[in-house]
Amino acid sequence: MTTTPTAPPAPDDESPNAAEQNTVTAACATPAGADGSGGPEPAPRKPGMLGPEYHRPVVDPDYGADARFTCTRCGAYPAADVTLRGHRGVVVWMVFLKEPGPFCRSCGISEYRDMTEETLLKGWWSLFSVFVAPFVLLANLRAYAKLRALGEPVPGSPRAPLHVGKPLRRRPAVAMLLVAPLLAVALIAWAVSAWGDGGDDMSRAQAGQCVKNSGSDAKPKMHFADCESTDPGVLVVLERLEKTASDLRCPEGTASALSSKNADPDEEFVLCLAPVNPGSATRTVAFTS
């Protein structure tokens, strides 16, 4: 007798076991959000920000810091979303440097020290850089405070965090913190002497006072001086003539005259001058008040 094998009976679709099996199969076959019907699509994220697949908390309880960001240098977390800046001054132009984050503690401190050293060494060598560099250094200090508040980096990729490097106090560039203020003062003093020194107001000069011309006869820069000085350039005011620009009425012994020219003749005056130390040649100096 011949026996023919038969297939096992198909499970009844209405049975409880079959319904449970079909439900599990359908759930595995259709991932949430894949076709727009199983849930919302994951939101896009900026570079350096962890996605939901990492399942890390927004605030890491072990580090007390924002754990959403990863370091752009090594991938570690926690990281601070800060930007570090540097500055160079080159005679007549300026160069602004920028290193965007996020940074972990080690990479951020390393970049902070390098950028600050660059600014200290090269950030002062143009007229306006003397005033820009201090603001760059202060801005970096704010970022540095956030970096120091981070915990030790937790590796997030095969790359190792940068070495923090030597502290700034052990780098020669820190000496510029003393040199830079002196340089700024020297530049300000030079600018004042070159552009701002037009001399004292001679409209207040009276007979018996002493003055000195630190400029030329064509462009005098008159200053009040000490009458006891032995400087041969010091002159004493013998007489002040009002409402005139002519020195013809100066008294005998006048060696030079300071003549004020003004649009209003009533405002004109002449100072008749003689050297405190005789021997100067007679001349007339004219200026516009």
Q: Domain check: are 163 and 86 in the same one?
A: yes
Q: Domain check: are 206 and 257 in the same one?
A: yes
Q: Domain check: are 235 and 166 in the same one?
A: no
What is the span of the domain harbouring residue 251?
202-288
Q: Domain check: are 136 and 88 in the same one?
A: yes
Q: Using 50, 70 and 90 to split pLDDT, how confident is the model at 197?
A: low
Q: Domain check: are 173 and 262 in the same one?
A: no
33, part of any domain? no
Q: Using 50, 70 and 90 to split pLDDT, how confident is the model at 98?
A: very high
Model confidence over 125-177: pLDDT tens digits? Answer: 887 888 899 899 999 999 999 999 998 998 888 889 999 989 988 898 888 88
191 pLDDT more than 90:
no
Model confidence over 51-77: pLDDT tens digits? Answer: 443 334 444 444 444 567 899 999 998
Of the given ranges (38-42, 140-144, 189-193), which has the lowest mean pLDDT?
A: 38-42
pLDDT at 48: 46
Residue 25 belongs to what H/E stretch? helix 16-29
89 vs 198, higher pLDDT? 89
CB neighbour list of residue 256: distance below 8 Å, 6 or more residues apart: 235, 273, 274, 280, 282, 283, 284, 285
pLDDT at 195: 63
**pTM of the full structure:** 0.48
Q: Domain check: are 233 and 171 in the same one?
A: no
In the predicted model, what is the mean pLDDT of residues 250-262?
82
46 vs 221, higher pLDDT? 221
pLDDT at 198: 60
pLDDT at 148: 93
Q: Which of 155, 184, 213 is the last residue of a domain?
A: 184
54 vs 115, higher pLDDT? 115
Q: Domain check: are 167 and 281 in the same one?
A: no
Q: Which of 156, 184, 212 is the last residue of a domain?
A: 184
229 pLDDT more than 80:
yes
Residue 69's CB is within 10 A of a number of other CB atoms, namely 21
41, part of any domain? no
CB neighbour list of residue 163: distance below 8 Å, 6 or more residues apart: 106, 110
CB 56 within 8 A of CB 77: yes
Rounded CA separation 241/250 (Å): 8
95, part of any domain? yes
Q: Domain check: are 172 and 207 in the same one?
A: no
Q: Domain check: are 130 and 220 in the same one?
A: no
190, part of any domain? no
CB 105 within 8 A of CB 148: yes
pLDDT at 66: 52
In the predicted model, what is the mean pLDDT of residues 210-219?
83
27 pLDDT more than 70:
no
Q: Which of 184, 214, 245 is the last residue of a domain?
A: 184
Q: Domain check: are 218 and 168 in the same one?
A: no
100, part of any domain? yes
Q: Domain check: are 71 and 180 in the same one?
A: yes
What is the count of structural domains for the chain?
2
Residue 266's CB is within 10 A of a number of other CB atoms, namely 8
Helix pair angle (129-148, 176-191), 10° resolution: 150
Q: Domain check: are 61 and 174 in the same one?
A: yes
16, part of any domain? no
219 vs 61, higher pLDDT? 219
CB 215 within 8 A of CB 221: yes
CB 269 within 8 A of CB 262: no
CB 130 within 8 A of CB 184: yes
Which two three-digit tokens encode residue 82?
């800060």
5, part of any domain? no
Q: Using 50, 70 and 90 to split pLDDT, how confident is the model at 101?
A: very high
Enter the DSSP assignment of 74.
Answer: T
Q: Using 50, 70 and 90 to split pLDDT, how confident is the model at 47?
A: very low
Rounded CA separation 212/237 (Å): 11
174, part of any domain? yes
- Nearest Cα residue to 56 out of 67, 71, 43, 41: 67
Mean pLDDT of all residues belonging to the chain: 76
